[in-house]
Structure formats: C-alpha cells, structure tokens
Amino acid sequence: MLNDTSPLNVFLTVVNEKSFTRAAEKLLRTQPAVSLAVQRLEGELGETLIDRSGRDLALTDAGKVVFEAARRQENLHQELLSRLAELRNKAVGRLVIGANESMTLYLLPHLGRFRRAYPKVKLVVQRSRSGEIPERLLAGDLDFGVVSYRLHDDRFLSRVLYVDHLSFLVAPNHHLASRRMLGIKDLAMETFVAHNVPSPYRDAVIKAFQKAKVPLNTDIEMPTVESIRRMVQAGEGVAFLPRLCAEQDLRQGVLKEVPVKELKLERKIYLVRVEKRPLSHSAKAFLEMLERA
C-alpha cells in the first residue's frame, strides 16, 4: 500500500470506501483527520477534488484524474512488493485474471493445472465485463483478460485459449430434439431465451436470421448463462449458447444439441495482456504452462 498517512492514500481510501467515515475507520483515524488530509491534498494541488454539495460522495474532473493516478501508483507499489517477494522465493506471487461468467469456464482446466504446479501462488479471477477488460489491463489491475473477440489494438497481445462453437439447445422432450439437422427456417416459431449481454455472437445470430428473413422471437432475456440453461431445461424456450457452457447438461441428458445448417459459428476465446508491460514470474509461468499444453 501507499503510506497510510499520506494525503494521497487518504484520498484514495475515501474514494474507494465512498465515505469519509468508513475511510477513517479503515485507516484507524478520526473523521476530522481524514477530512483535513484531503483538504491538505487539495491545497497542495490547487484543485477541488471532491464535490461536497450533495449527499453522495462525487469526484470533480480533477478528482477523477488524481484518483486514477493514485490507483496506478498503488498498483505499481503492489507489483513492486510482489516482484520482490518472487525474487526471494519464485514459488510465491500473485496472478490476477479478468473474465466474465462464461469466460471463466474456459479457464477452469488451466487454473487447476496451474494450482497443482504452483500451489503457493495466490490466484485471483475477478469477474469483469468483457468491455471493461482492456481498460483494467492498461490500469494494471489485471495480468491477463479472457475475451471472446480479438482486440484490434497494438497495445495488446492476444493468443487463442480455446476454440468453441455456438450450440442450438433444446429440452430433451422438445419437438425439435429428435432432428439430426435443422434449417434456420425451422426456428421461425420458436421462443428464444436470450442473453441480455451484448456480444459478437449474439449479433451474428441476429444477422443470420435477418439475412434468411426469419423472425427471431426473443421474448425472454436472462442475465446469466446459468439462468438460460435452466429456462431451456424447463421447456420455456430454446437458446444458442457456447457448447462448453452446456457440456455438463448435454452429458447428463437434460439438454439436447441440434445443429443448425446456417449457423455454424466458431467461437474463439482469447487470453489478452498488455504488450509492453513486463510479466511477473507468476504470469510467465502461466504462459509457459499454456504453451506446454
């Protein structure tokens, strides 16, 4: 951590805790002392950092700039401590990966192998929306991110972690479950249980239906893959999901996959990192493990 008594760290704690009172409790200081430290920082910088006119804590534009700088400094300090620890004992370190709910599934086999090889490394998978992963990588919050699209940005390096495909899924007693192959026109009267999170594959399905001039009835939208699977199992609709997300259900026979001729969509999963940021020993070990697989 930054020096606990520094005005910059006090400000960072106030913003993270969203409260002067909670920040004081965390720092084991009085609330007036915390307020005074923030005022001192504002005086040094010649800028008002916190808008005190409302009930909720809000940052001014200058406050947002200072907060981002303080967060980067904190991340650098944590990286310094981690790398020094690794120099003393290469088996110790920290690996942080950002992934959303479905992307985490593609990580699980690799994480198990990594934990067996490096049991003393602290392994953290942070739930992150795919759209925010590039920003979090650049801020130094993550070592790696897992996304379902290639980042067309020279600041990042990507490698394919897994190749999957979208599956058309129905309940075992659904009237289409016995078919060997479907055409997209066979789906015109079906109710789809859709994921309400935008993705390139959702867009691809919509475009395929538009191209075929087939109505796509998405009267049911759910927030998670788990909830979509449950709705399809219950016979409330059909769905397109990554096959890996439904693999266990398919093995258990509670869902059925039926190919759709016009919708053979390959799904590549990418492991992403910042190109110019040096890798920690833990991150290097993770990449080397992937290359040996």
CA–CA dist 63, 266 (Å, integer) = 44
Burial of 89 from C-beta contacts in 10 A (0-12 / 13-18 / 19+): exposed
Q: Among 45, 74, 103, identify where a domain stops.
A: 74
Give the DSSP per-residue string, 221-281.
EESSHHHHHHHHHTTS-BEEEEHHHHHHHHHHTSSEE--BTT---EEEEEEEEETTSPPPH
pLDDT at residue number 258: 97
pLDDT at residue number 86: 66
pTM of the model: 0.61
**What are the residues facing 270 on neighbouring strands?**
147, 160
Burial of 181 from C-beta contacts in 10 A (0-12 / 13-18 / 19+): exposed
Asked whether residue 2 is assigned to any structural domain, the reply reads no
pLDDT at residue number 4: 63
pLDDT per residue as tens digits for the range 223-272: 889 999 999 999 999 999 999 889 999 999 999 999 999 998 888 899 99
Nearest to 70 by CA among 34, 97, 45: 45
Asked whether residue 100 is assigned to any structural domain, the reply reads yes
Greatest extent of the chain over all pairs of C-alpha atoms, in Å: 73
Q: 260 and 280 share a domain?
A: no
How confident is the prediction along the chain (293 residues), in pLDDT tens digits per residue?
455 678 888 999 999 888 899 999 988 999 999 999 999 999 999 999 998 887 788 899 999 999 999 888 888 888 888 777 766 655 667 899 999 888 898 899 999 999 998 888 889 999 988 889 999 999 999 999 999 888 889 999 999 999 999 999 999 999 999 999 999 999 999 999 998 877 778 888 999 999 999 999 999 999 889 999 999 999 999 999 999 889 999 999 999 999 999 998 888 899 999 999 988 888 988 999 998 87
Structure tokens at 146: 């897992």
Q: 241 and 203 share a domain?
A: yes
Helix (H) or strand (E) holding 117: helix 101-117
pLDDT at residue number 1: 47
- Is 45 in a helix, a strand, or coil? helix
Structural domain count of the chain: 3
CATH number at residue 99: 3.40.190.10
pLDDT at residue number 74: 86
pLDDT at residue number 249: 95
CATH number at residue 42: 1.10.10.10
Q: Vertex 279, ends 277 and 285: CA angle to 5°? A: 160
Q: 211 and 283 share a domain?
A: no
- The residue type at 225: V
Q: 91 and 235 share a domain?
A: no
CA–CA dist 281, 260 (Å, integer) = 45
CA of 75: how far to CAs of 22, 64, 138, 147, 260, in Å? 22, 16, 11, 23, 47
Q: Vertex 269, ends 265 and 274: CA angle to 5°? A: 140
Structure tokens at 247: 């693999």
Q: Which domain holds residue 177?
A: 164-266
**Bridge pairing between strands 266-274 and 144-147:** antiparallel
pLDDT at residue number 161: 93
Q: 170 and 261 share a domain?
A: yes
Q: 102 and 26 share a domain?
A: no
Q: 146 and 285 share a domain?
A: yes
Q: 183 and 257 share a domain?
A: yes
Asked whether residue 188 is assigned to any structural domain, the reply reads yes
